[in-house]
Amino acid sequence: MMVRGKFITFEGIDGAGKTTHLDWFREQLASRLAAHGRQVVMTREPGGTPLGETLRGILLNQPMDLETEALLMFAARREHLAQVIEPALARGDWVLSDRFSDATFAYQGGGRGLPRDKLEALERWVQGGFQPDLTVLFDVPTDTASERRSSARAPDKFESESEAFFERTRSEYLRRAAESPERFFIVDSTRSIGDIREKLEEVVASI
Ligand code: TMP
């Protein structure tokens, strides 16, 4: 019988540095899995499907009601699960996603203040009990993240949010991590790239 693959997500506030490590992590994982004839499917949220990428363009650029924003995030996620994540895991591949539902709790819940019970209801609807096998959370103080953001490209709707917004977003990520410590690996993203890679190597070796 085919063994199901694993689902790994990368999370963190904008400017936390997760993108710096994503491709490298995928390569590490891919070379480990190649020996077993498995592949790594790299994907992202919002996005990951043609419909999801269309929704991403709208979500990142258009102002909208907060509940609409949360519903569209979960609509894109449902499509992503059905078209990409579930089929890949079922055929034994591993999936590495740049963000997943922790981001909705952190941004729409923590950052924007949407009540958690609404997000929990959507999460149950869209995912049932499904959660990542591992979530790597890049944690960094908001002032460091804001410095890193200002040297990047032109900001989208979320990246232009205030420092207070990112404080609330970061706190909600940390609350989610404390709630499910067995699922989360928290990276101190103030450390050097070399230090962080050493930690991530241990993570890859342990899964
Ligand atoms: P990215 O810049 O890491 O690709 O993420 C896109 C933006 O979308 C980022 O600012 C976080 C935001 N986002 C949410 O607000 N809610 C979500 O559920 C997801 C997946 C992303």
Average pLDDT, the chain: 96
Gap from CA of 182 to ligand 1 centroid (Å): 23
Gap from CA of 102 to ligand 1 centroid (Å): 10
Q: Which two tokens stand for residue 55?
A: 């929704």
Give the residue numbers of the binding site for ATP.
12-19
Query: Given a cut of 80, is residue 152 above it in pLDDT?
Result: no
Helices (H), 81-192: 86-90, 101-104, 116-127, 142-150, 163-179
Q: What CA–CA distances, in Å, run from 126 to 17, 42, 77, 100, 121?
A: 28, 21, 8, 12, 9
94 lines ligand 1 (CB under 6 A): no
145 lines ligand 1 (CB under 6 A): no
Which ligand 1 atom sits closest to the C-alpha of 19?
3
Q: Considering the domain 7-206 in this protein, what is its CATH number?
A: 3.40.50.300
Give the residue numbers of the binding site.
12-19
Q: What is the pTM of this model?
A: 0.97
Gap from CA of 45 to ligand 1 centroid (Å): 7
Gyration radius (Cα) of the chain, Å: 16
Q: What is the mean pLDDT of residues 136-142?
A: 97
pLDDT number for residue 42: 98
Domain ranges of the chain: 7-206
Gap from CA of 164 to ligand 1 centroid (Å): 17
Query: Given a cut of 90, is residue 2 above it in pLDDT?
Result: no
How sure is the predictor about 1, in pLDDT bands with cuts at 50, 70 and 90?
low
CA–CA dist 57, 44 (Å, integer): 13
Gap from CA of 38 to ligand 1 centroid (Å): 28
104 lines ligand 1 (CB under 6 A): yes
103 lines ligand 1 (CB under 6 A): yes
Q: Which mutation among 61, 99, 122, 148 tests ligand 1's pocket best, with the greatest number of atoms within 8 A of CB?
A: 99
Which ligand 1 atom sits closest to the C-alpha of 74?
18
Gap from CA of 34 to ligand 1 centroid (Å): 30
How sure is the predictor about 154, in pLDDT bands with cuts at 50, 70 and 90?
confident
**Who's near 173: CB < 8 A, 6+ residues apart?**
11, 12, 13, 102, 105, 106, 110, 137, 139
Q: What is the pLDDT of residues 10-19, one digit of tens each?
A: 999 999 999 9
pLDDT number for residue 153: 77
46 lines ligand 1 (CB under 6 A): yes
